[in-house]
Amino acid sequence: MLAISELGKRILSTRTAFRRETNPHIDSEDSEKDATRYSVLGSLVIKIGGNALPPGPPRRQELLGLLIMRPGQVVPVDQLVDELWGECLPLRPTASLHTYVSKLRKTLALSGNGEYVTNGTNFQDSVLRFSPRGYQLMVDPESVDSHVFERKASVDRSFRTTTDVERSCMRLEESLRMWRGVAYSGLTRNPTLESESDRLELLRINAVESLADFYLLARKPDLVASHLTSEVQKYPFREHLVGCFMSALYHLGRQAEALDVYEQTRLQLRSAFGVQPGEELRGIYQAILQQDLHFRQANA
């Protein structure tokens, strides 16, 4: 017979295996209290176990942002100097960079309680390393919200089955919930971070547009209208986005509003570029006038 202690261990092992099978995220949940997360989809935030660390002054945040952009990659010293200061170099740029790095290491070595992490290892060097080629932020890309967003927002837009549509909606909703504001908010005076912020914003609005397409396939025009009201005002020249909004308004019985949106878009396009709306938007407009606009169909 098995000893009671051995039997208990086997029962516990079986239960743990079952929990992991039924909840594949159990290990990540258990380790969340020690996890370090880097958030840039808004202002730059560093969290350890859910507790925010002081990000430091703007220049130090810029340095961290430039490294977070390339997790695990070596960024040459000369490149960092150029991206941080451009033509307005300090008297000793390399020494100034080393000073910022030293202070950043101290920030990254803090626990969520404001205490330095000491576990017998050099935590600082394991996170922000120096090599003859440059500096390297040793973090898992999955700990950076912008990288997780890009992965989740990459969905197949071929609109295959109803199940595909539902899954894509969930995936895109999750990705867009990660946004807290303009990416790298407060740091876009830095040209490199401004460019990265613009790139991420383009991915965000593409994801919004994809989600609108999937919502229409799922026959959820109310969600399209609520999501796109402000986005269409911000991006009046994205005709596919405008078309999704018009379609949603029509299916909600708001035909007059849909036609008004078209007219506003037509006037803005003519004023800004001297052109008329494209074929897709004109087709939606004509279908609304004829009250013959239908939902697209996903496969069963």
CATH number at residue 97: 1.10.10.10
Among 29-43, 91-105, 264-278, which stretch is predicted with the lowest mean pLDDT? 29-43
- Position 214 confidence tier, pLDDT thresholds 50, 70, 90: very high
Q: What is the pLDDT of residue 297?
A: 67
299: in domain: no
> Locate tokens 């593409």: which residue?
206
- Position 185 confidence tier, pLDDT thresholds 50, 70, 90: very high
Q: What is the pLDDT of residue 90?
A: 83
10 shares a domain with 39:
no
Q: Is the per-residue pLDDT at 113 higher than 90?
A: no
CB 147 within 8 Å of CB 161: no
191: in domain: yes
In angstroms, the CA 44 to CA 65 distance is 8
Q: What is the pLDDT of residue 131?
A: 84
Q: What is the pLDDT of residue 218?
A: 92
> Locate tokens 């176990």: which residue?
49
7 shares a domain with 80:
no
49 shares a domain with 3:
no
187 shares a domain with 111:
no
165 shares a domain with 109:
no
126 shares a domain with 46:
yes
294: in domain: no
177 shares a domain with 274:
yes
298: in domain: no
Of 122, 141, 160, the last residue of a domain is 141
Q: Residues of the chain with pLDDT > 90: what percent?
A: 64
Of 80, 112, 141, the last residue of a domain is 141
Instruction: Count CB neighbours of 91 within 10 A.
Output: 6
- Position 32 confidence tier, pLDDT thresholds 50, 70, 90: low
Q: What is the pLDDT of residue 34?
A: 61
CATH of the domain at 244: 1.25.40.10
- Position 17 confidence tier, pLDDT thresholds 50, 70, 90: very low
Dump pLDDT digits (tens) for 134-181: 999 999 999 999 999 999 998 766 656 677 888 899 999 999 999 999
180 shares a domain with 80:
no
159 shares a domain with 52:
no
Beta bridge partners of 12: none
Dump pLDDT digits (tens) for 62-89: 999 999 999 999 999 999 999 999 888 8
297: in domain: no
48 shares a domain with 10:
no
List the domain range (segments joined by +) for residue 89: 35-141
285 shares a domain with 186:
yes
Question: What one-character-per-residue DSSP string does 40-104 give?
Answer: -SSS-EEEETTEEEP--SHHHHHHHHHHHTSTT-EE-HHHHHHHHHTT---SSHHHHHHHHHHHH
Q: What is the pLDDT of residue 126?
A: 60
Question: What one-character-per-residue DSSP string does 194-237 give?
Answer: HHHHHHHHHHHHHHHHHHHHHHHHTT-HHHHHHHHHHHHHH-TT
Q: Based on the structure, what is the number of domains in the chain?
A: 3
268 shares a domain with 201:
yes
